[in-house]
Structure 1
Amino acid sequence: MTQTAPAPSETAYILEDQVGYLLRLASQRHAAIFQKHAVQNLTPTQFTTLLRVAEQGDVSQNHLGRLAAMDVATIKGVVDRLKAKGLMQSRPDQVDKRRSIISLTDKGADLIDDLKQTGLIITEDTLAPLTAQERRTLANLLRKIS
């Protein structure tokens, strides 16, 4: 005899077992660890943006937003704040003057190795309770649902 999943009305809703709740708790823990190791008071979105530009080189602001998984308004604000910190610069695209091309300043480029090292420490601290196999499984499952 095969068992079928219980109907939604038959399933007890226990907050502590819900994926959204658990993801939020994990995210809060990770954010606290990130803040503890923050380089130059960078936020996680600023950190991501700097690393994406370092990987890609000069990039349009619109494309950068897609690479960093941010909408147009969010990436504009992040870039503006990084420009104010002297870590990024922008210039009009020579072909399409409506587009802004974003690049790292020398100061921003000088931070990249530190950011990568700090990122490894943050990841290690975040995943410390897990075995190597659990870490791989978690990463694979998160990729699958993202």
Structure 2
Amino acid sequence: MEKSPDAFRTISEAAQELDLPQHVLRFWETRFSQIKPLKRGGGRRYYRPDDVQLLRGIRFLLYDEGFTIKGVQKILKENGARHVITIGETGAIETVTSAGAGDEMVTTPQITAPEVATSGSVIDTYSRARLNEALHELLECKRILDKATEEPLN
């Protein structure tokens, strides 16, 4: 039995619909203040249809277009959640304003398309975006560790 398009989705349903692991959705909640699923007893999450559409737009920008989390945050801040929902629905990235589009792209080292992996296979766009996101997170962890080692212990 399929749910109505207007029905709320559990985290497992939303993750399945977006082809993402559940932990990614929970992580994105910490990075994008616009993602606010209803939380019921025991912390159970329920995503509204607009929440799922916003997640679809964020997923598109991160995985298909290669934006960083910081870049998507900037788009959300400058243009709003409705704008990102529209991008997710249409796949039309040109709706991102030219004033904000250039500097949202990954500014950390990025794998360019297509690159041949050591096995001889071409890295697809989705894998490249995931690798870039992991690289960005690792660089952020390094920055935090470097800062922590510089500060004197009290």
The TM-score normalised by the length of structure 2 is 0.29
Tell me which structure has the larger Cα radius of gyration.
Answer: 1
